[in-house]
Every structure is written in C-alpha cells, then in structure tokens.
C-alpha cells in the first residue's frame, strides 16, 4: 500500500518553511526541521528533540523520512568496506569506503542499475531501474562518513560518483546531492573534494560548464580511438571522441577545472604504446591528468588484466610527454568492491 505521507526531504528549505507556516508554526521552526534533516541527519521526527511533542506528532502525521539502510557490509583484507544500501522501496545499490594512507574516499552510486552496458562493467549488465533521489545519494555519503570517523578514525576526505549508474543521466538529482553534501546545513565538504565520473555524454558535459559547477569531472575514456571505444562503450557511437573533446574544451573554458581521464588498461586491447600515443594526443585538448586503472575481472568477462610491465611502459610514455599520470591499484577486489565490480555477485542487487 502506497503511503500518502509527503516525502519531506523532497522539499526545499523555502518549501518546508512555507509548509510549516501553513500548519501554524513560526518560520524558524521550518529552519530547525531542515537542519535536523540535512545537518544533523535525523532519521525520525522523535529525534528532533528541540521541537515540541505536539509538533513532532504533526510532522509524523503529514510527512515521512525515507532513509536508506545498510543491508550488508563486507570488509576487505585491505580495509576497504563495501556496502549494500537498501532503499525505501526495496531496491539495493552499492557504495564503497576506500581508505588509503593519505585519504579516505567514498565511492557512491547515482542510479539503480545502468543503461549504458559498458562491456567491462558488472553494473552495465543490470537494467536501469531508477534514478536515485538527492537524499538517497546523500545518505550513502552520510553512512560512509560515519564509518570513516568511527572505524578508520579519519574524516572522509573525498567523494567519487563512480559507483552504480551514469551520474549525468540523473543530472538534476546528482547536482542537488552535491549541493547538500557541500552545504553548511549539510556535510560541509568542499566541492573540490567531489568528483563526478561520466562515461561521456557530450551535451551534459557542456551543461556542467553552463552551470559553472565547482566539483571535479572525470571522463571514463579507456580508449582514445573511436573504433576501440565503440567496442567496449556503446555510448561512444553517439558521443564520439571529437564530440567529447569539444564538450571538454567548453567545460574547461567555463570552469577552469582540470579534467581527469580514467583509463582502464586491458591486456592485448589498449595496452600498447600506440594506444598511449593516441591517449597523449587526446590529452592535448585540455589541461588534464590520467588515472591508469588496473582492470578488475568480472564473471564471464572477456577482458584480462594487462601485464605490469606493459602498464609501467604505458605510464612512462605519457610521463615522458609531460602528462600527469597516476596508476590506481585495485582495492577491495576480494569482496568485489573494486572499480567495475559493483553488483558483480550481489544477489540482493541483481534480483532487486
């Protein structure tokens, strides 16, 4: 039976204030409730202890707080934590806490499933079931934020939208979630600590430029050759490398933010120096850096991990051409929490 209560976190602060005033409350009460929802992360009206019992009862009659819950938590031998987050209506998405010596990163999802069907990604094998609401994205960060402080005894330092889904196909909700994460009445994290990763949707990259976003942008590139990229990323057929280059130039002109190119390196596919040369040529479009990512096998996957010697030679080729390069080693592979593995073996996700 569908609840007739209002999903309170869908209201803006102004709408919440107006609604409470229509209920006979003073303006500051709306501000208090908004602060409880976003800054103090209350998950029930009873938790809002500076409100009268009568007001809390009225709120409970009219509204509901649709929180996510942790359905499962797995801890890797390297300290990485993978979460299965259950949404209000029963769908499950995954998130990851990645602790390293210098940072603690939350990898979060923006959709249930994905429509892009990238060949190397387990999530791409799931159908797209829904876009996440801003608070469903925010709650993932909130839960991981708590564990970073409690379990790792470090504050959460970075957030990457690199979990399940394509963030730019949930544009409005993703931008709203970054607003809540960076707001003072929120988690108060700097937008420069947030990175949105896209498979490459040119018109939406340009829209990010128009909106002059303050967060970072990463492009999942994986090949700087249209023929190869078409084979592994069907989105490239409608968003060619030339189109992406134009969009990225526009984004940089509007934001002056350096872009990161994510490059998963596959054995005998995109690991030759010829591939490195094509990537170096693509890097000339805008100021950028390159993250070379170790491939993480998925069930029945057709790709294999590149030889370490090839990876090092690839990175050296780029570095010799004054391109900033980082080699990202896999973390959380033993619990299928590494890049590209989310939803690989999680029955709760695949059956949701």
Residues designated as active site: 94, 339
- Closest by alpha carbon to 245, among 230, 257, 232, 259? 259
- The C-alpha angle 152, 297, 103, rounded to 5 degrees, equals 25
Quote the tokens at residue 229. Answer: 């990229």
Distance (Å, rounded) from C-alpha 114 to C-alpha 336? 17
Strand partners, 6: 63
Which residue pairs from 100-106 have beta carbons closer than 8 angstroms and sit at least 24 positions apart in sequence? 100/331, 103/157, 103/158, 104/148, 104/152, 104/154, 104/155, 104/156, 104/157, 104/158, 105/156, 105/157, 105/158, 105/159, 105/160, 106/140, 106/141, 106/144, 106/145, 106/148, 106/156, 106/158, 106/159, 106/160
* DSSP E strand stretches across 179-301: 194-198, 216-220, 259-265, 288-294
Strand partners, 264: 293
Non-local CB neighbours of 281 within 8 Å, separated by 6+ positions: 224
- Closest by alpha carbon to 289, among 260, 314, 251, 249? 260
**CB of 167 within 8 A of CB of 115?**
no
- Closest by alpha carbon to 263, among 205, 315, 216, 302? 315
């Amino acid at each position: 039976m569908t609840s007739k209560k209002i999903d309170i976190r869908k209201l803006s602060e102004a709408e919440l204030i107006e609604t409470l005033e229509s209920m006979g409350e003073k303006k500051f009460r709306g501000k208090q409730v908004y602060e409880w929802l976003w800054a103090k992360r209350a998950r029930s009206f009873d938790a809002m202890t500076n409100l009268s019992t009568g007001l809390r009862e009225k709120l409970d009659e009219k509204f509901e707080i649709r929180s996510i819950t942790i359905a499962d938590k797995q801890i890797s031998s390297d300290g990485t934590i993978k979460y299965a987050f259950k949404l209000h209506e029963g769908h499950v998405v995954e998130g990851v806490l990645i602790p390293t010596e210098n940072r603690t990163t939350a990898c979060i999802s923006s959709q249930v499933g994905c429509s892009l069907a990238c060949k190397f990604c387990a999530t791409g094998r799931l159908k797209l079931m829904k876009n996440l609401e801003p608070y469903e994205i925010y709650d993932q960060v909130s839960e991981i934020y708590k564990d970073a402080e409690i379990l790792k005894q470090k504050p959460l330092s970075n957030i990457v939208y690199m979990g399940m889904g394509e963030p730019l196909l949930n544009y409005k909700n993703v931008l709203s979630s970054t607003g809540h994460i960076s707001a003072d009445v929120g988690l108060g994290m700097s937008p420069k600590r947030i990175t949105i990763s896209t498979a490459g949707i040119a018109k939406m990259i340009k829209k990010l430029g128009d909106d002059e976003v303050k967060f970072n942008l990463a492009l999942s590139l994986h090949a700087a050759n249209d023929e190869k990229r078409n084979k592994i990323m069907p989105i490239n057929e409608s968003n060619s490398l030339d189109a992406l280059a134009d969009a990225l130039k526009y984004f940089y002109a509007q934001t002056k933010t350096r872009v990161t190119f994510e490059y998963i390196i596959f054995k005998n596919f995109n690991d030759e120096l010829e591939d490195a040369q094509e990537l170096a040529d693509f890097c000339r479009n805008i100021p950028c850096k390159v993250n070379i990512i170790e491939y993480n096998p998925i069930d029945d996957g057709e790709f294999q991990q590149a030889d370490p010697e090839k990876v090092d030679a690839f990175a050296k080729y780029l570095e010799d051409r004054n391109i900033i390069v980082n080699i990202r080693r896999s973390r959380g592979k033993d619990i299928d929490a590494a890049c590209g593995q989310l939803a690989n073996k999680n029955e709760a996700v695949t059956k949701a």
